[in-house]
Amino acid sequence: MDFGLTNQDKDFAVYISDFSGVEGMRIMPDRHVRSSVALGIDPEYLQIAFLRNYSEYDLAVTGDFRSKTLLCEAGIIPTNEAAHFKIVGLTA
């Protein structure tokens, strides 16, 4: 049975259907999500919210070497919650 999955890369597969558009839908595993859960996220309907803007700090000087660190706090805001989905209870 052909589900329209094509393996263009070892890390993900592309599902192409009448509703997914020409580019299809990328399917990839994530180690932070259980194998019985599937998440569908459309990046076109996400925005980045900065809780703390980028700032740069000097760290300790070691010899002639000067180092700095960048600090930023950000999160993701869904602009349309109907564009994302979660499926639970999947079995292999």
Q: Please tell me the predicted confidence (pLDDT) of residue 19.
A: 65
CA–CA gap between residue 51 and residue 22 (Å, rounded):
36
73 pLDDT higher than 90: yes
CA–CA gap between residue 11 and residue 4 (Å, rounded):
17
18 pLDDT higher than 90: no
Closest C-alpha among 28, 1, 25 to residue 12: 28
More confident residue, 34 or 19: 34
Q: What is the mean pLDDT of the chain?
A: 80
pTM above 0.85, yes or no: no
2 pLDDT higher than 60: no
